[in-house]
Amino acid sequence: MPAADASSALLEVRNLQVDFRTRNGIAHVLDGIEFSLSKGEILGIVGESGCGKSMTALAIMGLVPTPPGRIAGGEIVYRGENLLKASKERMRRIRGNRISMIFQEPMTALNPVFTVGDQIAESIVLHQGLSRRAALDRAVELLREVHIPAPERRIGEFPHQLSGGMRQRIMIAIALACEPDILIADEPTTALDVTVQAQVFDLLLELQQDRDMAIVLITHDMGVIAEMTGRVLVMYAGRIIEAAAVDDLLENPQHPYTSGLIACVPQLSDEPEAEREALMEIPGVVPPLTELGVGCAFEPRCGFRMPVCVQSRPSPVAVGAGHSAACWLMEDADRQGADRQGADRRDGDRP
């Protein structure tokens, strides 16, 4: 594998396929995922439960549960090295060291019977070969870096003695212990109160800027996407259906699912006196991945469905600089030269 083309991108995911064996047949949990991540970038991945956003993170970490899961194809190239071909030993050296991850529920991700100091020191001893005492000193520094008051005292405490926001800071400290290039944050603030979420976001932005670290932020919340990310992937049923810079995506969404995802949730507004219109509904639910047909997976819920949508699956089409969408409407627009950008999809007639 030539490493030359990876010079700009820190991480490149190419045509990633993950299958799960289920009682009802094979589910293509990830189907042709492609994206790249640059140094210091914050990439958002957004979608409903079951769209594959967390599985993408697990695949990068080499943590797809096998069986029933299986990586069926593709490449995950980190600094020129295909991680899918890496040995278990090599993967252990990368995971938690070069690429780290923080999870949604900081209570279940921390071990209740070890002190937080031990849990932070563990990865430092493992990856950097420091003595336990030196690692604990480093743990105190890390706690200070994630703004935990009285860190010398805190390293001797157990997870249950800390608040939710404090636990998530500990998780971040563990993830940062080895100064990774990439931090994957899977819904890091979903379990936290909004004022504590704001603290965690400020911390992540500060660390990203100080260390030039890339962050993959997984969320279902378009508000979080708007606040935190630079570029966004929208996933649906195991595929990326739209990718764009964040402002472009929010101002000018192309895929009907993306516009639905933006319009179906009330957004806090500084103009409360404006008329409250009925929220746009995305009817139905995500179909079971074992029952996907040959057409577009969003077709049963889409207000713009056409005959072609059931017959075959649309591929991503470039619709602007750094903006692509996988929808037959895009192809249609190309063919007819019609300007679809002005079309107000909120009024799309729903059957």
Q: Which residues bind other proteins (CB under 8 A)?
A: 42, 48-49, 163, 165-166, 193-199, 201-202, 205-206, 208-209, 220-230, 247, 250-251, 260-262, 264-273, 276, 278-283, 285
Question: Which amino acid, residue 252?
Answer: N
In whole angstroms, the minimum distance from the beta carbon of 157 to other proteins comes to: 15
Q: Any residues with CB less than 8 A from the CB of 348 and at least 6 apart, and which?
A: 256, 303, 304
Distance CA 184, CA 204 (A): 11
3-state secondary structure 87-99: CHHHHHHHECCCE
Give min distance, CB of 42 to other proteins, in A.
Answer: 6
Report the nearest approach of other proteins to the CB of residue 279 (Å). 4
- For other proteins, the closer CB: 64 or 148: 148
Q: Residue 216 is encoded by which pair of tokens?
A: 């993959």
Smallest gap, in angstroms, from Cβ of residue 24 to other proteins?
A: 15
C-beta atoms surrounding 262 within 10 Å: 20
64, 58 in Cβ contact below 8 A?
A: yes
In order of 99, 176, 201, the CA distances from 208 in angstroms are 14, 11, 10
Amino acid at 291: E
| Cα 47 to Cα 257: distance, rounded to the nearest angstrom | 10
Nearest to 180 by CA among 98, 255, 116: 98
Nearer to other proteins, 138 or 345 (CB): 345
Nearer to other proteins, 77 or 218 (CB): 218
Cβ-based nearer residue to other proteins, 265 or 338? 265
**Least distance CB 53 / other proteins (angstroms):** 12
Closest C-alpha to 261, from 277, 248, 269, 249: 249
CB of 343 to other proteins, least distance (A): 19
Nearer to other proteins, 102 or 214 (CB): 214
DSSP 8-class letter at 95: B
Nearer to other proteins, 136 or 243 (CB): 243
- Neighbouring C-alpha atoms within 13 Å toward the C-beta of 55: 29
Nearer to other proteins, 117 or 253 (CB): 253
- Taking the complex as a whole, the smallest distance from the CB of residue 17 to other proteins amounts, in Å, to 25
